[in-house]
Chains A and B, each alone.
Chain A
Amino acid sequence: MLRLVAKRLLGTASRDIPSRPLQILPRLYHENVIDHYNNPRNVGSFDKNDPNVGTGLVGAPACGDVMKLQIKIDEESGKIVDACFKTFGCGSAIASSSVATEWVKGKSMDEVLTIKNTEIAKHLSLPPVKLHCSMLAEDAIKAAVKDAEAKRAKMNATLKGADVKSG
């Protein structure tokens, strides 16, 4: 019986496709968004336990968007040498976080805190309803930087403690 139902569904589907004309939808994704969606930059993960890696995790599955953005800091210069992301959400959210990872590379932690959601939204020509995605990407950057700074502070405190003990 299941096979019959499946055949019928497939049958109707194949009958519909040739007759339906191509519909042009009134809302389109900007080509930058499509580019980042099809060719996302810097997808991946770093070791979160690495003392030089800052992890920002924002959003919640119940809301429909979760972004994890990680930055790798160069110990000496304090600059961001690498970044990666993983995002669960709409095309605009994926594109926003992908753009964020591109923009943070090579910058100092103070500099990336000045990246505004409005800049990301403008670059991707996000429609009003998707501006929240760009804000989430800005929040992800801030959270990653905060985590990296906290780790550095902790590391410095541990080193100072070790110096005091040995001295």
Chain B
Amino acid sequence: MASRLTILRRISILLKAPPSTTLRSLRPSLARRFLLRKVLAPNVSPWICAAASSFCSGPLNLPQDSQGPAAIDYRSVLSEDEYHRLANSTIQDLQEKLEEYGDVVELEGFDVDYGNEVLTLKLGTLGTYVMNKQTPNRQIWLSSPISGPSRFDWDHNTQAWVYRRTKANLLKLLESELEQLCGCGIKQLEQLYRHITAQEKNT
């Protein structure tokens, strides 16, 4: 969905550009606009923006596929308030579910901790999960002992947190990995999405 947005935006910028502009000269200005729009969040000071524009003097790679980083204006994808509501709901609901799970699965060194908006799940010697919000990108970042680092975006179509590169669904991923690691399934984690989006509709 977001990649479609990028393509549409690029087409609209190209159409607005004067006919004599060559593609080569357009790319750096395009790139600068993308990076600056991303950087110019309300709480970012002007000198950081200046630094960013001088930093981004080379052509930015904007790949169609999921290989490299994509520069998207996240503010138009999801408003900050909406993002906080969704992300906080997800993490808090997940925390409750994991605490219940901890009572069921008898694992030495099992610990669920939530502090400074970071959720840490320790599974003793099996590894540690860390989940946190990444507000500028409107993402939830997960670090998993099985799949390593992943960055999830809110997908409006499926109403779920999805990692674009692997198309992985956050709650589905956790369900399968926890079952794999602990040998005990965590029930109906995906149902949490209904709860999260229901809360979103009520506010």
Contact = CB atoms under 8 A, between A and B. Distances in A.
Interface residues of A, number: 27
A139 B129 contact: no
Contacts of B63: 146
B61 A147 contact: yes
Contacts of A121: 148
Contact residues on B (Cβ < 8 Å of other chain), bracket = 20 to 34
B149 A143 contact: no
B149 A146 contact: no
Given A68-B55, A143-B61, A62 B149 contact: no
A150 B23 CA distance: 13
A118 B58 contact: no
Given A57-B55, A60-B38, A62-B44, A117 B68 contact: no
A55 B55 CA distance: 12
A129 to B, nearest CB: 5
Interface of A: 48, 55-63, 66, 68, 117-118, 121, 128-129, 131-132, 134-135, 139, 142-143, 146-147, 150
Given A48-B57, A128-B143, A146-B63, 7 more contacts: A55-B59, A60-B38, A60-B39, A63-B136, A118-B148, A131-B143, A132-B141
